[in-house]
């Protein structure tokens, strides 16, 4: 554990109860003394209808809650191919020959539904960045999601809360991106695992 002096701190109070603090440049396993002090907020990004521009990205979405554009300023390229979408909630039928909620059939993509946003899209901003709030409804289930875009870091977060009341259904979020890769990291019960995203061999198909 080490003590580190930092230059810049963004402080945010939510409903007067919870404090959110972003400390720029703080290293892992380090700590710093924080003093509450008012500071003017710099307008580092802006909303224009269904588009927001940050120091790192230009992001656009449609009325269904799907991302239609993600432009990376530093790389000077579009991340989402033309005509494709990202952040698409998909529902699949989970009725395999055995072991539902575990074994997925290779034909699972043949029976798919998409969940559109209910149209109630709320845009907010604060010192940390810009936040877009989506709500989705499917039968008796509800999905609440916040897209987080920050002023001081390139990271993009999708904070999602799901009230799931379905049976034998699988929920997935799909991202069509123009990125070349052969492996992806997947969450499992006890951590994560790296697996190929291609189906060139029988092992990869399994």
pLDDT in tens, 44-70: 446 788 999 999 999 999 999 999 999
* pLDDT at position 3: 40
Residue with tokens 């992001």: 59
Do the beta carbons of residue 95 and residue 110 sit within 8 Å? no
Give pLDDT tens digits for 7-23: 455 555 444 555 667 77
Residue 107 binned pLDDT confidence (cut-offs 50, 70, 90): confident
The H or E element that residue 204 is part of is: helix 202-205
* Rounded Cα gap, residues 62 and 160, in angstroms: 18
Average confidence score pLDDT of the chain = 83
pTM value is 0.76
* pLDDT at position 2: 39
- What phi and psi values does residue 56 have, to the nearest 5 degrees? -115, -30
E-strand ranges in 94-181 read 112-115, 122-125, 129-138, 141-150, 156-163, 169-175
User: Whose CA is closest to 68, among 52, 54, 55?
Assistant: 52
């Amino acid at each position: 554990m080490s003590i580190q002096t930092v230059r810049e701190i963004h402080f945010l109070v939510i409903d007067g109860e919870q404090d959110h603090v972003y400390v720029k440049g703080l290293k892992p396993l380090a700590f710093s003394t924080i003093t509450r002090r008012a500071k003017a907020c710099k307008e580092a990004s802006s909303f224009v209808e269904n588009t927001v521009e940050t120091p790192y990205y230009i992001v656009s979405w449609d009325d269904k809650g799907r991302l239609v554009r993600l432009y990376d300023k530093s790389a000077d390229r579009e991340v989402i191919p033309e005509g494709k979408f990202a952040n698409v909630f998909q529902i699949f039928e989970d009725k395999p020959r055995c072991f539902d909620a575990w074994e997925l059939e290779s034909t699972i993509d043949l029976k798919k539904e998409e969940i559109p946003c209910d149209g109630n899209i709320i845009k907010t901003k604060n010192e940390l960045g810009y936040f877009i709030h989506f709500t989705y409804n499917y039968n008796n289930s509800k999905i609440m999601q916040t897209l987080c875009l920050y002023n001081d870091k390139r990271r993009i977060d999708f904070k999602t809360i799901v009230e799931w009341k379905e049976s034998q259904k699988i929920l997935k979020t799909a991202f069509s991106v123009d990125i070349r890769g052969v492996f992806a990291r997947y969450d499992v019960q006890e951590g994560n695992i790296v697996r190929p995203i291609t189906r060139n061999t029988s092992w990869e198909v399994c």
